[in-house]
Each structure stands twice: as structure tokens, then as C-alpha cells.
Amino acid sequence: MSQPKPMSHMDDNDIPSTPGKFKSSYIHRLRYNFSLTKVTVWALVFFGLIFLSVFFRSPSSSKSDDPTRRALGTNNWGGPTWEKRVRTSARVRSGKGGMSVLVTGAAGFVGTHVSAALKRRGDGVVGIDNFNDYYDPTLKRSRQALLERSGVFIVEGDINDMTLLKKLFELVTFTHVLHLAAQAGVRYAMVNPLSYVHSNLAGFVSLLEVCKSVNPQPAIVWASSSSVYGLNTKVPFSEKDRTDQPASLYAATKKAGEEIAHTYNHIYGLSLTGLRFFTVYGPWGRPDMAYFFFTKAILKGKAISIFEGPNHGTVARDFTYIDDIVKGCLGSLDTAEKSTGSGGKKKGPAQLRVFNLGNTSPVPVTDLVGILEKLLKVKAKKNVMQLPRNGDVPYTHANISYAKREFGYKPTTDLETGLKKFVKWYLNYYSAGKKSSG
């Protein structure tokens, strides 16, 4: 697939916003008490899944025959020029006293916005991404071009490539890791389940194995998901609620990731903060998200499927605009305490946190469609149908009081305002250079 040429210009809405640093005056940290039994059960689950990932292969539905998506076979890194680019990208702006951050999944939706925000406020940033074809890689390449103009270098590689990860830590003393690389999507897990095991479990363990051994150990902030709340009926969802009844394999891998994080925190003293994102949307978003493919279908005059819950119940989502998610990521990084291990050995208790990052205002999917119709000036063709048993849940709703208390997290963008910015970007991006939306 040919790569798009860099766009000749972008308006202000194309550039991810740059919220300032967040400093917390709070010293109390919410600690989670996990029973030995629960940790043991989840440990057996994720190690079993990793075993399956290593010894079995299932055919991928993507263009590649390799379920790991050609990630480990491309050793196109290394050499003096490459090393110089890594060091330059990781350099903190003089006099800023900032952090140096390794961002995994940097060419992804959230990764692009947070990387740009970090760089623009003076922090050092190095990205890593395998540019897989879960969705159109040309969009990822366009994000990469955007970040390169901001001075962020993205290394093309896989987080399971521990040799590459070790090399990056040899070149740069990263103070923080923002781990956003993951196989996303609830429904795709029914098509290619091993891709979730490879990325979300084995990949996370590979990263933590490297981080535990380097000196000094970085503080780690990583992307969990609101999907861990699964079949919960109590709303709004709180970090204290049960998360042991996932409705999808994707949710199960994210829940397992939280247990893995607890294990590495407990044994090795790694500082770990998990972020449960709630339906993130906005410019440069993911084409597999409803607001994105609804926009595409409406403009092409194609029918869209609108799901409803049992007994014609409302399906609603806590849609969270990307700028608010960026604020949450920066706040988490800024308040992350240092890891306490050295040489792979724990020296003392280390910080362990999980935050909801949502908008706290669930909106029915029918309202989402109505706003898009208004902004696009096109009436949607709708097929209303029952919510399928594919891992989707009827509603999500975030309780964000913990994040608000810890670093002042407060979302400010309502759905109509956010969708207006998305539609403006969408029309500009897919008309510039005559790009195809598929």
C-alpha cells in the first residue's frame, strides 16, 4: 500500500492540543488489595494464554499470514544515524526539567495526541509502533508524518522484540513509559483472538521484563480499558467495582493486564498506573470506532446499524474527547512516583494506581447519529437491530472522582463540540490529496 504524501498544511484543529503539566498536592494514593487467590487465578490465566500464543498459530484475517502481523521479522533499526535520531527525539528541552518518555503505540490515535502534547511542552519523546494493518496503515503513516514535524521519532518495531526495547533503554535513560500499544477492538477478537494475546499479554510482559531490569527503572503509565467492567450493572463505574466478569476477550486481556501490573509492582517495585479509557473520539481517530464509520457511511449514502439493548433498551456510551484523555494521560505521568526496584530487585513499596478517564455523561448512540446528521447535513439511513452477543455492552459510565482528586482531571468537551472538530478534520483529511476513506 502506498504511503500518503505529507499534507502541505494543517489548520489549528489538526494539531493535538497541549494541556499544561499537572502537579498534585495530594499525597494519599488509593491502594488496591488483591487476595492471593485472585492473583494466582489470573496469573494462571494469562500464562496459559501466553503459552497458547507461543505454541499455536491461528490464521489471521488480515493481509498478513502471520498473526503477529510481520512485527518481529523487520529488523530495520540500528546504526549511528538511527541512534542519533532516537537520542535527539528523547532530549528534554533545555531548562525545562521535564521527563523523557517512551511511548508505545505512538502512531495510534491516543499515542499521537499525547506524544505531540509531551513534545510541545518540552519533554523528550521516543515512539515505537509496528504499523500493523488492523486498520488502514496510511492513516498511521500520516500521524507519523505529523509527529515527525513536531520532532518526535517513531521507531518501527514490536514491543515483543525485547532486543529492540533493551537497545532503546541503552541509548536513553527513560524516566517514564507510556504504554499504549495494544490490539484494540471488541468484535475483532472473535476473528483473530491470538493477536490480542500477542499484543495485550505477551507484549505487556515483554515490556515489563525490560523495565524491571534497567537502572533506573522508569515509572509506567499504561492503557487499560473501561471494558474491564464487563457485565456490571451498577453505574457509574468506579475503580472499586468488581471487574471479574468480562464480556469479551479484549476485556479479559485488559483485566489480565491489570493483574500482571499488580504482580510486577509487588515483586519488582515497578511504579504502575493503569488508565481505563471510556470511548475516546476525535480528530485522527480510529476508523473502527462507531462515530468514524458512521460518518463515512452517512456521507456515502450507506445504511448504518444502530443497536438497541434488550426490550428496546437504550445503548449509550461515555464518549470522551481526545483532548480530555490527553489531560488525563499527562496528569497520570506527572503524578507517577518513581519505581523502587534496582537490578530487577524490589527495594521498597511502589505506587500502584488505576484511574477511570471518561466524560461522566453517557450519550445514547441515537443522539450521536443525530449530531452527525446535523453536522454533515445528511440524513442517515438507519437499520435498528438487537445488540449482538459479540462482546459489546449496553452502556458505559465513568466515575472520575479519583482522577479528579489526584491530579485535577476534569473533562470539558461535550459530544457535539467534539464531533464538530472531528467532522472538520475528517472532511479536510479525506479531501486533501484525494485520500480514500476505504
Written in H, E and C, the secondary structure of 82-123 is HHHHHHHHHCCCCCCCCCEEEEECCCCHHHHHHHHHHHHCCC
Rounded to 10 deg, the angle between the 365-376 and 290-299 helix axes is 40
Reading the block at residue 268, the C-alpha cell is 519488582
Cβ(347)–Cβ(339) below 8 Å: no
Helix (H), strand (E) at residue 264 = helix 249-268
Catalytic choice (134, 188, 196, 250): 250
**What are the CA-CA distances from residue 211 to residues 215, 254, 342, 388, 409 (Å)?**
8, 19, 10, 40, 27
Q: CA-CA distance, 242 to 12, in Å (whole number)?
A: 41
Q: At CA 17, angle to CA 423 and CA 139, rounded to 5?
A: 50
Give kind and range of the element (H or E) at residue 376: helix 365-376
Q: Within 13 Å, how many C-alpha atoms sit on residue 58's CB side?
A: 14
User: Do residues 114 and 330 make contact, with C-beta atoms less than 8 angstroms apart?
Assistant: yes
Check if 430 is active-site.
no
Beta strand 316-317 with 303-308 is unpaired
CA distance 80 to 57: 36
DSSP 208-238: HHHHHHSSSPPEEEEE--GGGGTT--SSSB-
Nearest to 323 by CA among 371, 276, 285, 274: 285
Residue 284: exposure state from Cβ atoms within 10 A (0-12, 13-18, ≥19): buried
Q: Cα-atom radius of gyration of the chain, to the nearest Å? A: 21
Set of cell numbers at residue 56: 499455536
Alpha-carbon distance of 293 to 281, in angstroms, equals 12
**How many CB atoms lie under 10 A from the CB of residue 369?**
18
Could you give the CA distance from residue 432 to residue 231 in angstroms, rounded to a whole number? 42
- Which residues are the active-site residues? 250
